[in-house]
């Protein structure tokens, strides 16, 4: 194990569980720690990217914010996988729906993560790599959701580097290829996991729909996101 702490995580060896839940918002990490975990310790406050470890139904689990975008989750997931011995990272975040059959409040699980990012260029691959979730985690998530009577939609998502895209046709073109929803982190997480020989999964709640304009209020988001959190905790 590399020298600890790392430049971005001020945790000691053993502070972080083998499975980490990663919402984008560090305050959502705090919410999960406060409302779902027992015996909680805070292992990171560097740059206010809060990280906590506790127990859920007797099992050691960590939760930490990732920040927004592939560069941010790329840093944190790399350090967790490669320096802290983390084996599984489950991203839990929000997304904008694309396809007509995706509705606000739906739970989408990213089997694959298309992207407009150049993050994979660092690996100098002789072709195009398809970032994928770990199938074992994906299957467990679907089974957990079914046992909780929560509907999920599994498929391809888009991890976009641009929230405000200068190309007005970009979203329509991704929708044409049956990409379910757009977020900003999963592809980088899946690539880091693949390179490290670890496991990753992205579970999303549809907070708005890109084409219909429907969106959740702040109160609705807080209430709906509980289902996504509970699926992730059950498989941690």
User: Catalytic amino acids?
Assistant: 208
Confirm if 83 and 2 have CB atoms less than 8 A apart.
yes
Confirm if 185 and 207 have CB atoms less than 8 A apart.
no
User: Which residues have CB under 8 Å from 109's CB, separation 6+?
Assistant: 133, 138, 141, 142, 152, 153, 154, 155, 201, 202, 203, 204
Angle at 41 between CA 220 and CA 50, to 5 degrees: 50
């Amino acid at each position: 194990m590399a020298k600890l702490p790392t430049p971005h995580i001020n945790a000691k060896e053993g502070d972080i569980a083998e499975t980490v839940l990663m919402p984008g918002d560090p305050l959502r990490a705090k919410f999960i720690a406060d409302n779902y975990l027992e015996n909680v310790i805070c292992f990171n406050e560097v740059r206010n990217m809060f990280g906590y470890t506790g127990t859920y139904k007797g099992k050691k689990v960590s939760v930490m914010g990732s920040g927004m975008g592939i560069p941010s989750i790329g840093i944190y997931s790399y350090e967790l996988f490669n320096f802290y011995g983390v084996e599984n990272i489950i991203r839990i975040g929000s997304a904008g729906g694309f396809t007509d059959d995706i509705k606000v409040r739906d739970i989408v699980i990213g089997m694959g993560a298309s992207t407009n990012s150049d993050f994979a260029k660092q690996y100098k691959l002789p072709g195009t790599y398809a970032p994928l979730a770990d199938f074992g985690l994906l299957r467990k998530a679907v089974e957990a959701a079914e046992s909780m009577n929560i509907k999920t939609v599994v498929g391809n998502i888009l991890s976009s580097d641009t929230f405000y895209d200068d190309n007005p046709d970009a979203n329509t073109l991704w929708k044409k290829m049956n990409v379910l929803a757009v977020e900003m982190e999963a592809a980088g997480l899946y690539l880091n996991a693949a390179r490290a020989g670890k496991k990753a999964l992205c579970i999303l709640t549809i907070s708005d729909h890109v084409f219909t304009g429907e969106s959740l209020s702040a109160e609705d988001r807080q209430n709906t996101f509980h289902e996504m959190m509970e699926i992730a905790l059950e498989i941690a």
